Structure 1
Amino acid sequence: MILGLDHIAVAVDDFETAVDSYRRLIGREPELEPRDGANRAWFHLANMALEVIAPSGVGAAGDRLRARLDAAGEGIWIAAFQSDDIATDARLLSRRGLDVEPFRDVARVRAAGLDFVLTAGRIGAQPSPALAETAIPGLDHIVVHTPNPDRALGLYGAKFGLDLRLDRANEGWGARQLFFRCGDAVFEVGASLKAPVTDGPDRFGGLAWRVADPDATQVRLAAAGFDVSEVRTGRKPGTKVFTVRNAPGGVPTLMLSAEPLTEAA
């Protein structure tokens, strides 16, 4: 079964620049891993990891990454789910009508135009070394935009088996939001109430990171050269949020206060 969100891969053109930016944004020192025609930087957090990846040479991963960048540009490329039995979960998803490709020790899944991976996960991984007192401890949620919310319910709930906690329509925001629990993070799917339902592809939206002190984190990121909004009251009672307008890889990025995470793998 799927245990949670293992990692998110962000595809970039300029590896060194993106890694330096995420190092300053997250406030942690990554683990570098060049292999198979691609450079990778892993930022391990308490509840998941961020993989920054760019093509670097000859290899299957580099070729796939170049094709992705040519087709869609920089941004979130893959969401990887942690599985306790990859072979069994891959067979189940295939029987449920998804496009599944076993590959080495993982399984690739293509669904609603998005790329997912089933993986055993970051076994034994510890959070990357903190470079600042306001280093980000973990991810709060990833956002996916869909033109078809009922399809999304069937895909992410019935087929992937994610735990739907809330299905909310808000006319004032003009949006319907589906919140799936995914380990110690949330997989949020949003749909416009103003647009017609279509069979078009889903697309990855942005990332919302948990921070213990939004005010101090906003000051740190502004000093590090990021274009940040003012800290404002969040939609969830008792929370504060702010936006990072120029996050690396063009990924829409939000920082929000939440219960602190335990620094554990």
Structure 2
Amino acid sequence: MITALDHVAIAVRDFDSAVDGYRGLFGHEPDLAARDGANRAWFRFPNMALEVIAPRGDGPAGDRVRAQLDEAGEGLWLAAFAVEDVAAASRLLARRGLEVEAVGPLARIRAAGLTFALASAHAAISSPTVSDQKSAVTALDHIVVHTPNPDRALGLYGAKFGLDLRLDRTNEQWGARQLFFRCGGAVFEVGASLKAPVTDEPDRFGGLAWRVADPDAARERMAAAGFDVSEVRAGRKPGTHVFTVRDAPAGVPTLMLSAEPMTETA
């Protein structure tokens, strides 16, 4: 049913500042669009897109973004999954007990305190680069969700959404249990603390991890653009190198890591 991660939306108040920030962070030029009371910038990658959205005048989309900003402030707002048939997928998820609402060409789903959407699958289109290829962001590696209830997460993201669970890993040293779901060319990662009790509190979006061809070149470019970046260090996954962007636009926790082929357990 779900074939990929279609896009992730970030709600912001200052549209121009956020777009300039992500343009500088990614090294890509977005598509700009304004409709339904909202400004949108689309940064497109081979395996998904990032939507930066802000209210602009009157309209249903603007009203939804304002409500989100009033409730939760700036940051990750929703994750949209690609499906072949939005109507058919909506009916199936509704039969599985999820709250599904048609919103224009999309279907919106609220589950475990988060907002998701279903979107029609389409051909991947990459945004043009405004920097050299080796320092530009190439794709999304994974999106992180934090949950206080990993068994609920398995039921929701695995059984109801039907995401492909590739690894259920408990690491006592890190104090975490991690669930890795394949979602097209990206990973939907759900993490739970082993040090906290299991509760029925809502899940929450964590951050985004992006792939770069050359971490050293990418870090140098981002630092020159004024971003607060960590040193490049060895990643948890053998053979990878990563660095953290401490001040990504809209406060989204952001990690950059060396690009590598997807693996069966990634």
Identify the TM-score tier after normalising by the shorter chain: over 0.9
Deviation (angstroms), 1:164: 0.3
Deviation (angstroms), 1:56: 0.9
In the alignment, the residues of structure 2 paired with residue 103 and residue 57 of structure 1 have an alpha-carbon distance, to the nearest angstrom, of: 19
Q: List gaps (5 residues or longer) in structure 2.
A: none
Aligned pairs for 1:1-20 (under 5 A) are 1-20=1-20
Q: Does 1:44 align with 2:56?
A: no
Partner of 2:202, secondary structure, is: coil
Provide TM-score, normalisation by structure 1: 0.96
Check the 8 A contact 2:48/2:124 in 1, yes or no.
Answer: no
Q: Does 1:200 align with 2:201?
A: yes
1:96 aligned partner, one-letter code: R
Check the 8 A contact 1:218/1:242 in 2, yes or no.
Answer: yes
Deviation (angstroms), 1:27: 0.4
Deviation (angstroms), 1:41: 0.2
Partner of 1:207, secondary structure, is: strand
Runs of 4+ more than 4 Å apart: none
Q: 2:127 matched to which residue of 1?
A: 128
Check the 8 A contact 1:212/1:260 in 2, yes or no.
Answer: no
Deviation (angstroms), 1:125: 4.6
Deviation (angstroms), 1:198: 0.3
In the alignment, the residues of structure 1 paired with residue 136 and residue 218 of structure 2 have an alpha-carbon distance, to the nearest angstrom, of: 8
Check the 8 A contact 2:46/2:124 in 1, yes or no.
Answer: no
Check the 8 A contact 1:229/1:245 in 2, yes or no.
Answer: yes
In the alignment, the residues of structure 2 paired with residue 164 and residue 258 of structure 1 have an alpha-carbon distance, to the nearest angstrom, of: 22
Aligned pairs for 1:1-265 (under 5 A) are 1-121=1-121, 123-133=122-132, 134-259=135-260
Check the 8 A contact 1:211/1:260 in 2, yes or no.
Answer: no
In the alignment, the residues of structure 1 paired with residue 150 and residue 253 of structure 2 have an alpha-carbon distance, to the nearest angstrom, of: 21
Q: Which moved more, 1:89-98 or 1:240-249?
A: 89-98
In the alignment, the residues of structure 1 paired with residue 213 and residue 53 of structure 2 have an alpha-carbon distance, to the nearest angstrom, of: 27
**What percent of counterpart residues are identical?**
73
Deviation (angstroms), 1:105: 1.6
What is the total number of aligned residue pairs between the two structures?
A: 260
Q: List gaps (5 residues or longer) in structure 1.
A: none
Deviation (angstroms), 1:106: 1.3
In the alignment, the residues of structure 2 paired with residue 69 and residue 106 of structure 1 have an alpha-carbon distance, to the nearest angstrom, of: 21
1:217 aligned partner, one-letter code: A
What is the RMSD computed on CA atoms of the aligned residues?
1.0
Provide Cα deviations, 1:31-69, integer angstroms capped at 9, x if missing partner: 001000100000011110000000011000101110100
Partner of 1:206, secondary structure, is: strand
Provide Cα deviations, 1:232-253, integer angstroms capped at 9, x if missing partner: 0000000000000000011000
Check the 8 A contact 2:54/2:62 in 1, yes or no.
Answer: yes
Provide Cα deviations, 1:15-40, integer angstroms capped at 9, x if missing partner: 00000000000100000010001000
Partner of 2:137, secondary structure, is: coil
